[in-house]
């Protein structure tokens, strides 16, 4: 009984320690914040021109203030992502992963909670700056308690789905010489097909149904859309797709990690 309570406490401690250590690297956080500010300002100007040229008050169902807030959320999510795949890749190549096998912790869960702690700090800082820039240029957008609740419940699941995708790529280091290509493809698919730059409603009609079924939309588009335009039925849809994506990815991680673990050999006295 004691162990069953001790295990969650260990992973919570890992997440908390990761968050604290990430706060120590203020220079790195500052560089990300500067980049976020530049990106948001550029897209604000682009969308101002787009709205002006079309003469429309809404595009993809969003007004200009909602569009900038949407971008603030999507950019905060993308820029808060730790280098999970590269870290796992490094552990595999250096053999450091074998050290984790002798610890009383699950390696995937250790990486998950370490990532969540780090990402929570990065997202909060990014979102604070994104909100500040959005308020300065376009003001506030209406946010009701229900929408805020929906956003807060789907955001952690979005981080978990993204972690599992990156973790799977990192495990590919057991068979591939270099996983950087896969990381690049995955990150670009998340940005483009996930709706980081433009909401999925602005894609061709024939693409939208397919894009919304992909897990990328549950990482970026779903949380951001719920933040600026909360809708209960859309929330249920996003939540369901996140749970399915988590289940499928978790099964894939468990299977691949089990197979990959058989390839680890330790020598020495």
Instruction: Give the predicted TM-score (pTM) of the model.
Output: 0.90
Q: Please report the pLDDT score of residue 269 as a whole number.
A: 42
**CB 118, CB 18: distance < 8 Å:** yes
Which structure tokens are listed for 111? 């990486």
In whole angstroms, how far apart are CA 194 and each of 139, 156, 181, 203, 212?
Answer: 26, 16, 19, 11, 8
Q: State the pLDDT confidence band at 1, using cuts at 50, 70 and 90.
A: very low
CA distance 226 to 213: 16
pLDDT in tens, 134-177: 898 888 888 788 888 999 999 999 999 999 999 999 999 999 87
Pick the range with the lowest mean pLDDT from 34-43, 92-101, 119-128, 258-267: 258-267
Q: Is the pLDDT of residue 2 over 70?
A: no
| Of 177, 163, 189, the residue nearest 89 (C-alpha) | 177
Q: Is the pLDDT of residue 91 over 50?
A: yes
Quote the mean pLDDT of the chain. Answer: 88
């Amino acid at each position: 009984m004691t162990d069953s309570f001790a295990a969650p406490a260990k992973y919570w401690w890992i997440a908390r320690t990761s968050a604290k250590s990430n706060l120590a690297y203020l220079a790195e956080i500052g560089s990300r914040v500067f980049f976020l500010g530049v990106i948001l300002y550029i897209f604000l100007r682009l969308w101002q021109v787009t709205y002006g040229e079309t003469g429309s008050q809404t595009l993809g169902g969003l007004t200009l203030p909602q569009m900038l807030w949407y971008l603030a959320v999507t950019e905060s999510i993308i820029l808060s992502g730790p280098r999970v795949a590269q870290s796992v890749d490094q552990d595999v190549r250096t053999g450091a992963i074998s050290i984790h096998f002798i610890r009383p912790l699950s390696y995937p869960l250790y990486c998950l909670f370490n990532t969540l702690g780090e990402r929570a700090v990065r997202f909060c800082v990014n979102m604070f700056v994104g909100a500040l820039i959005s308020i300065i240029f376009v003001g506030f957008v209406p946010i009701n308690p229900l929408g805020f609740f929906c956003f807060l419940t789907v955001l952690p699941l979005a981080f978990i789905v993204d972690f599992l995708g990156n973790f799977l790529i990192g495990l590919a280091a057991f068979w591939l010489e270099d996983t950087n290509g896969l990381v690049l493809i995955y990150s670009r698919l998340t940005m483009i097909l996930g709706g980081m730059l433009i909401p999925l409603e602005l894609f061709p009609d024939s693409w939208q149904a397919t894009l919304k079924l992909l897990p990328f939309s549950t990482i970026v588009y779903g949380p951001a859309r719920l933040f600026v335009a909360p809708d209960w039925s859309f929330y249920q849809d996003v939540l369901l797709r996140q749970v399915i994506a988590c289940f499928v990815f978790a099964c894939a991680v468990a299977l691949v990690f089990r197979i990959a673990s058989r390839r680890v050999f330790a020598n020495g006295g």
